[in-house]
Amino acid sequence: MRKSSAFTLIELLVVIAIIAILASMLLPALNQARQRAFAANCQANQRSVIQGLLFYADDAKGIIPFWNNYDNYTWSMFLVRNNWGARPGAFYELPYKTITCPGMPRQVSTYNSATGMYGMLHLTGDGDMTAYNARKAEIGNFILGQWGSTGSKYEYFLTGRMKKPSSIGLIFDSVLVTGTNQGLGYSFVTNKKLDWAGNPAVYRLHGSRANVAFADGHVSSLDAPGLGQLAIPMDGVTVDSGYAWYK
């Protein structure tokens, strides 16, 4: 009599259990690989952003704009394709996805010129100018800005005055820590905790590290001590328990 080759119920359950165990062992490794891919893509995006800003500066007498209240532009509106009609076509035709981190847990579907993107260094209006003023002789007097409750507001970075562009971080992984847009990137970061809704900050999204694009065009992944060693140290913000942003 021929013996049946079909699985018994016990054998089937054993096979399922083995598959589940293998899956539980492999999934963390796959997730880590996915996060490394996000970090690499993020660095590529930031490299495109900083190169676009430097190309802009070459055509604009060495000026990288953060904000121009006369036109009501943020920095991204000088670079992004289909940029809310701010210009008749953006200057350097970057797609919106290039100015956003692909690994952000929360994403926006449409470009709105302020949220969902990388953050540019912003000191004149909301940051702590003390660290910058103390190091002007060493790193250069490269920030031109006016910020107040009334009148025009603007902030520009003058590349020709930068003495140490390789240590000046300009574009960062960013996040809004509070408010209705919590978890989205934001158009700027500062070197201190802000006292208004949103509290934009550097976001150490990639394995407790943040990607940073520098004024000389290179991009690095920095941990908390590395962020504190920048020409303008990002060491004045405090920690929100929901995010791995810099302390």
Structure confidence by residue, pLDDT tens digits, 20-49: 887 777 666 666 777 788 899 999 999 999
Alpha carbon dihedral 163, 66, 92, 222, in 10-degree steps, equals 60
- Confirm whether 86 is domain-assigned: yes
233 found inside a domain: no
d(CA 46, CA 180): 26
Residue 115 DSSP symbol: B
Residue bearing the bigger pLDDT, 208 or 82: 208
60 or 118, which is more confident? Answer: 118
CB-based contact 237:127 (threshold 8 Å): no
* Cα 109 from Cα 27, distance rounded (Å): 28
Residue 236 lies in a domain: no
Provide the number of structural domains found in the chain.
1
Which of 159-163, 191-195, 220-224 shows the lowest per-residue confidence on average (mean pLDDT)?
191-195
> Of 187, 67, 56, which is closest to residue 119 (Cα–Cα)?
187
Q: Flag whether 234 is in a domain.
A: no
Residue-number span of the structural domain to which 158 is assigned: 11-228
Residue-level pLDDT at 5: 59
Whether residue 40 is contained in a domain is answered as: yes
Task: Using the predicted structure, report yes or no on whether residue 238 has a pLDDT greater than 60.
Answer: no
Instruction: Please tell me the distance from the alpha carbon of residue 111 to that of residue 75, in angstroms, as a whole number.
Output: 13
Structure tokens that stand for 132 in this block? 């910058």
Query: pLDDT by residue (tens digit) across 52-77?
Result: 999 889 888 899 988 776 556 788 88
Q: Tens digits of per-residue pLDDT, 126-152? A: 888 888 999 999 999 999 888 766 667
In-domain check, residue 238: no
What's the mean per-residue pLDDT of the chain?
A: 81
Q: Is pLDDT at 1 greater than 80 in this prediction?
A: no
Domain presence at residue 242:
no
Residue 2 within a domain = no
